[in-house]
Amino acid sequence: MAIRRLFIANRGEIAVRIIQTCRMLGIETVLGVSEADRDGLGAALATRVVRIGPAPATQSYLRIGTMVEAALRTGADAIHPGYGFLSENPAFARACEENGIVFVGPTAAQIAAVGDKLAARRHAEAAGVPVVPGGAVASPGEAEALARRVGFPLLVKAVAGGGGRGMKRVADMASLGAMLDRAMAEAGAAFGDARVYLERFVASGRHVEAQIMGDGARVIHLGERDCSVQRRYQKVIEEAPAPNLSDALRHALLEAALRFARHIGYRGLGTVEFLVDSARDAFYFLEMNARIQVEHPVTEAITGLDLVAAQIAIAEGRGLPVDQRDVAFRGHAIECRVNAESIDRDFQPSPGVARTVWFPSGLDIRVDTHMQSGSRVPPFYDSMIAKIITRGETREAAIARMRHAIDAARIEGIDTNLALHARVLAHPDFQRGGVDTGFLAALLEPGEATRDGAREG
C-alpha cells in the first residue's frame, strides 16, 4: 500500500530528516510535538502539527496510546518512530499493527527478539555468529561462578539496556557484588527490567557495526561503520567504512550480520553491532538495533542511498529498493555529533537559547539539524543538536573537510562540544585510524594534551 500521510513519533533532527524525505516522495507529514517543541523547525516544516502533551518525554513522546490516537485522529496511514523514545518498543509496533497503521520498521516480534539482549545472544549463537563469552546471572552465586569461568575484568550489562545505562565494569571478585547490585538497580529504574548478564571485557576493542536492510525475504548489507570514539558508551564520532580492518575480517563481519538478520527473517533497516578484538583480529556480536541509527548519514554518503526512503519502500511492501550487486561504495565519510554540553564542566547539558546557529555548506558537507538562530534547547531531552557529515574520496580528505567544517561552525548562547571534535580530529592516533573504545577516555585524562601535542579547543 502507498503511504499518503505519515505520522512522525519523534522530535529534533531526525524528525526534520524524515520530513525532508517525505517531501521528496510527496507524502504528507504529521508531527507530534510536546509543549517544548511547538515552535521548533520540525513543526514549521511538517504538513500538520499535533500537540501530544507536556514537555517531559514520559508525558508525551513515550506515551504509546497518545501517539497511536494522534495518528488515527489525523488520518495517518503510517508511523515512523525515528530513533530513541518508542522506536524499539515492541508494544508500540504491536499497537500500530492492531490499529491498522503501518509501522515503518520491523515487526513487533522482531523488535522483541533483538531488544532482549539475552534473546539476541541466543539468536546470534543459533546463526553461527560469535558472541563475547558470558551469560545470564540471577543471583550473586551465579555471578561468582560465571565470573570465575569468564575471568576479569568483565562487564555487568542490563538485558534491556542501551546507551551505557545498567552497564558496569568489574575489576575483581571483591567488587562484583556491589557492581551487580548497582547495575540491577540502575537497569530496573531505567528500563523497568532489572535482569543483567555478564560478558568478558575486551581491553582493546573497536565498535564496528554493519548496516543491513531486509524485506522479510531477502537481506543485504550496506557496509560497515566504525563507532569507537565514545564517551561513557555514548558515540561521539562515526565513520564509514571502518579504517584499518583486514579484508578478511571485514568480509566475515558483514557475512555474520547477514546470517543474523536472515535467521530472524528481518524486515526493515537495522544495525548489527560488533566488538572487534584488535589483539586477536576477531569480532563478537554485541546487539542489534532494530531502527534507523543516528549515524545513518555516513552510510548514505558513501552509497548514495536514502535510507529513510528505503524504510518507507519496505514498509509499503515494495521490497528492497536495491540488490546487493547494485550497492557501490564511494570514498569515506565521517559524522560528528554536536551536543549542547559543557566539556569544561564534565559534559553537563547546556540548555537555553542559541542566539546564533550557523554551519558551513558546500561540496560533500552535510548538516542534519533542527536548530536555527534563536532556537531553544530544552532541558528535557538528549543534548544532541546537530550532526555534521563530510565525505571525501579518501579518509584524509574527509577528515580535512570535517576539520574545516568544525572550525567554521558558529553556535552562540549555549555551550557545545565542537572544541572536543577539533581536538579528536587533530589527534595523530585518530588520524592514523583504528582507535579503540578507550581512546576518548584516555584523551580526556589530565595532561593528555601535553603528552600528545594536541591543542585544547
Residues carrying an active site annotation = 291
Residue 268 per-residue DSSP state: E
Q: Measure Cα distances from 245 to 206, 276, 282, 382, 401 in Å.
A: 10, 9, 11, 32, 23
CB atoms within 10 A of CB 164: 15
Select from 266, 307, 310, 305 the least CA-distant residue to 289.
266
Query: Interior CA angle at 372 toward 374 and 455, to 5°?
Result: 100
Cell of 172: 575483581
Burial of residue 104 (number of CB atoms within 10 Å: 0-12, 13-18, 19+): buried
Question: What is the DSSP track for 344-379?
Answer: GGTTEE--EE-SEEE---BTTEEEEE---TT-EE-T
The one-letter code for the residue type at 92 is F
Helix (H, G, I), strand (E, B) or coil at 42: helix
Main-chain phi, psi angles of 153, to 5 degrees: -75, 160
Cis peptide before 54 (omega within 30 of 0): no
How many beta carbons lie within 10 A of that of residue 64, not counting itself? Answer: 16
Say how many C-beta atoms besides its own lie within 10 A of residue 71's C-beta: 25
- CA dist 380 and 59 (Å) reads 11
241-259 burial: b if 16+ Cβ within 10 Å, else e: bbbebeeebbeebbebbbb
Which residue has cell 502533551? Answer: 53
